[in-house]
Each structure stands twice: as structure tokens, then as C-alpha cells.
Amino acid sequence: MSQQPYIDGFEFAESGETRAGRWALRELPRLRPSLVDDAGELHYELRGTRDALGRRALGLKISAVLPLCCQRCLDTLMFPLELDAILVLATSEAEIDADADDPEAPDRVLAKREMPIGELIEEEVLLAMPFAPRHERCGERTREIGEHRASPFAGLSALLEASSGEARNRRR
């Protein structure tokens, strides 16, 4: 690997540097339990910047298609995720807490000399993910094919499965 997988927060923000690349989904341990398949990767672009008030900040763009489990039919749902976040660097947790009650406040992150890029990416992806992902119309493609063969109880068992609430445990 030619580049370190972490940045020095304030230094990176001040330099106006940009770092872009791909990140394997399987390298994001907190995200993995939500994925049906972790073979893919996402694209990211991290840049040093300042917010409207001139505070040092990180700009983070992420583009991904995440294979999630539809919470209605339990089939795979390819969820397109595009985000463009500004994270204003803070020098202490107290500084972050001071903003916590203000809904207008920007996202904050504690600046460190070694900030793992993977953790920044992972945090933003987790925040942007739908809580209960669902297809707009489940099984649209399979319904036509299955119509003649499916037993009258197929729909019922799908309903029972969907309501069992164990979607997350059904992964391979």
C-alpha cells in the first residue's frame, strides 16, 4: 500500500489535500452485519477544507451500492448510497457536546493525529443507511414467473417469514 490508511486531522484540513480511492466493504466491520454480501467496494473522496465559519473540516464523499436485505420480502435489495458530508473538526469531546442540542449545527468529529479513514467512512455510511430497507415493490420480477406454480400458501409463508423479524440473522 502506498498510502497510510489514516490522516492527521488538522494537518489534512489545512493542506487542502484530497485523498480518493476504493474501500472494500469487508474492511468495514460495523457495516458488515447489515450486508447480504460484502464482496463489493465503495468509492470515497476525502478532502481537507473549511466550513462557512472558517473552521477546519473534512469533506467526505461516498458512492456505493450496498446489498441490503429487504425487511419485507427478505430478498436482496441493491441500495444506492451517495453522500457528501462536511465534518467540522473539534479539539475536544466537550466542544462536540456543546453543539449537540443545536439541530443547525454541522456534524463534528474529534480531530486526532491519526484518524483512520475507514472509521470515518464507516460512520458516515452507517448514518446514511435506511433503518429498515424495503423494495419499492417486492418480488415484481418473480411474481409473473411464480404465478402458475406457486402454491396458494406461498404468499402466506412469505408473510410469516417477513413478520418473524429475524431478517438480520438470516444471512449466510
Using rule CB under 5 A, residue 25 touches Zn ion:
no
| Whole-number Å distance between alpha carbons of 10 and 87 | 12
Tell me which residue has cell 448510497: 81
The answer to whether 76 touches 82, Cβ cutoff 8 Å, is: no
> Which is closer to Zn ion, CB of 73 or CB of 88?
73
| Selected binder of Zn ion within 46, 70, 89, 111 (CB under 5 A) | 70
Residue type, 148: H
> Which is closer to Zn ion, CB of 20 or CB of 132?
132
The one segment of 72-80, 84-92, 97-105, 106-114 that binds Zn ion by CB under 5 A: 72-80
Helix spans in 6-153 (H): 9-15, 93-99, 117-128, 140-146
Using rule CB under 5 A, residue 167 touches Zn ion:
no
| Whole-number Å distance between alpha carbons of 12 and 35 | 31
Using rule CB under 5 A, residue 56 touches Zn ion:
no
Using rule CB under 5 A, residue 161 touches Zn ion:
no
Per the DSSP assignment, residues forming a β-bridge with 68 are 77
Q: What single DSSP character describes residue 104?
A: T
The one segment of 7-15, 50-58, 89-97, 133-141 that binds Zn ion by CB under 5 A: 133-141
Using rule CB under 5 A, residue 68 touches Zn ion:
no
Using rule CB under 5 A, residue 138 touches Zn ion:
yes
| Whole-number Å distance between alpha carbons of 128 and 144 | 33
Residue type, 51: D
> Which is closer to Zn ion, CB of 95 or CB of 161?
161
Using rule CB under 5 A, residue 115 touches Zn ion:
no
Q: Which residues bind Zn ion (CB under 5 A)?
A: 70, 72-73, 135, 138
